[in-house]
Chains A and B, each alone.
Chain A
């Protein structure tokens, strides 16, 4: 019996993966332990090793996205076995990209059908194809629900309907200029991998939650002073403390005092999480057009010390930039510290929540400003903090409490110890 090569499930939340590159060709002899292929999940690339030796049979060709646990290839013991595998046509439909996506917008999800012999042909009924064409719809955007995952008329109609209710919907949107007749195209960036994950998550977040943003200005003078003292002792401590470390600690501690901000809606309930798993948004630049965004998670940040957090931030951001984060690094976040505006010098923004979370905090830059205190004008280091919260879970009062806690900790950072 030939061994099956499956699309691995690298994380609980992983529902599909993309075959990025096979390292061997169809029929090549491979050895146990050799890297067979690279797959890509929402945010990471992963190499799959051969679990046996034999002849490689490729079922899913490069660029195709398939559900986890799906057979993507075989290792055949003999040439004869390899030949017999080639005759099997594998056809299936990919499941929607994730459980949350399926609940929110089952219509516009990737639904490709593949076959071993045709190298990823999309199976759609004639009328479905015609209808998609008439409506300027990319048939590969449609999830097939017919026999063997065939895309049938009802699937196309559902997608068209979904695109009419969603304001931004790519090719079928009349808001988008026509590619052939409109402005000249400078570059085409495939909407896949991380870009697609970001796009899907942002849309999901805005379309499925009641987001509200607030900005506060806070005196960070004491925090700046504390950091100066800690940086001076960097060698002794073995770590150069960053503002991100401090913000992470402050937010985790403040959130412990206002537990409702560390919550999610699950089914018909709001679940308040015991652990504060703080996601740290890390932006990366890929090229002139493309940038990336990783949100690795510091698990149980509410109970960690400044230095534990600092070391984790350093480790995670280093691996993020090297593209070495694993799905485990990025899962189970319960609230998020964003860094984008902080880096760009933007003072105020309305960040978008990480889907499934109740709160995201985005620090602005620290700027010296004249501040009136006790009737005197003083120069203080001021910064803004932008909060976006899910108003379904949290009202203004807890956010106000959180802001007060943060301001207290900033004013007297020794409370952090």
Chain B
């Protein structure tokens, strides 16, 4: 099968969906020129009306897209960097996400929010933050975070076809990561996890770049520990069944979440596991997150981030 990069996979998703549905259009800052290659050449293919460059105002970007979505369009808002989502938090989290519910299910908001997120490029806090916990905290918006080109394309297509807001983050450090993507069309449904590696001793649940880290550790420990890596792909809806299925086998859990530890998704997931699967546990659950401090720029960054060494330590602790 051919191999393409994650960013190219997302671009293909845009192209395919824009070709089949003329209501689909892109909104962002300098997306015609393309800060990231996911929108390169799209304005030539689909015209100015469907690839909109906006002023530097996230509030205006989401506000206009939110209005268009209510009118039946399917806008994709590209924040470029996830940290900028905070600027438009009200438009995204309270307006777009909850509109359908506030209006008794009569008005759908088929809006997609997307952004490159994640640390590792030494860009400091605003350009390194992974804001999924903030999104997850607000009911009404689905959240996906793929780890492979295949999943990124399939999830983006599902997101565009969804009738209410979906946010799909992609990790900046995976932008040029290559992976197998078929030529023929496919979808990856939202809310379905994928076991990226089967194992029997410990379950590592992760998303995005941390799936890659977990797989690396699992391969290194192969002779000692049988590690199962569950890639959630979506955090909302959460495929809890996949986690409990894995825990039935392993009885041990490590959650890797590239986000500040305090009040993060890992904490939420662990609370759910303790609540729903207490009797499956054979050891306390470990979580590996970003330390509870701002993500520094430069070389200091590496010290606060999850990494394979920290994941390995956590695995060794839970199998002790």
Contact = CB atoms under 8 A, between A and B. Distances in A.
A126 B280 contact: yes
Interface in B59-90: none
Contacts of B108: none
A150 B80 CA distance: 48
A142 interface: no
A259 interface: no
A125 B283 CA distance: 6
B283 A152 contact: yes
Interface in A143-194: 146-147, 150, 152-153
A128 interface: yes
B280 to A, nearest CB: 6
A130 B320 contact: no
Nearest to B283: A125
B133 interface: no
Given A146-B283, A152-B283, A153-B251, A126 B278 contact: yes
Interface in B36-61: none
Contacts, number: 27
Nearest to B278: A126
Residue of A127, A128, A129, A153 with highest tally of chain B CB at under 10 A: A127
Interface of B is mostly: loop
A147 B286 CA distance: 14
B279 A130 contact: yes
Contacts of A125: 251, 281-283
Interface string A105-130: 00000000000000000000111111
Interface string B118-160: 0000000000000000000000000000000000000000000
A123 to B, nearest CB: 11
Nearest to B320: A147
Nearest to A145: B320
Interface in B258-281: 278-281
B320 A153 contact: no
A147 B278 CA distance: 18
B320 A127 contact: no
A75 B201 CA distance: 45
A384 B313 CA distance: 67
Contacts of A126: 278-282
Interface string A127-146: 11110000000000000001
Nearest to A155: B282
A344 B281 CA distance: 55
B84 to A, nearest CB: 43
A100 B199 CA distance: 37
A152 to B, nearest CB: 5
Nearest to A128: B282
Nearest to B248: A127
Contacts of B320: 146-147
A146 B317 CA distance: 10
B120 to A, nearest CB: 32
A286 B320 CA distance: 45
Contacts of B278: 126
A331 B93 CA distance: 77
Interface in A202-228: none
Contacts of B280: 126-127
Contact of B279 (A127, A146, A147, A152): A127
Contacts of A150: 283
A129 B251 CA distance: 13
A212 to B, nearest CB: 45
Contacts of B282: 125-128, 146, 152-153
Nearest to B318: A147
B126 to A, nearest CB: 40
Nearest to B277: A126
A146 B252 CA distance: 13
A146 B283 CA distance: 8
B279 to A, nearest CB: 4
A129 B278 CA distance: 11
Contacts of B251: 125, 127, 153
Interface string B280-296: 11110000000000000
Nearest to A152: B282
Sorted nearest first, the 10 A-B pairs with minimum C-beta distance are: A153-B282, A125-B282, A130-B279, A127-B282, A126-B281, A127-B251, A126-B278, A126-B279, A152-B282, A147-B320
26 contacts: A125-B251, A125-B281, A125-B282, A125-B283, A126-B278, A126-B279, A126-B280, A126-B281, A126-B282, A127-B251, A127-B279, A127-B280, A127-B281, A127-B282, A128-B282, A129-B279, A130-B279, A146-B282, A146-B283, A146-B320, A147-B320, A150-B283, A152-B282, A152-B283, A153-B251, A153-B282
Interface of B: 251, 278-283, 320
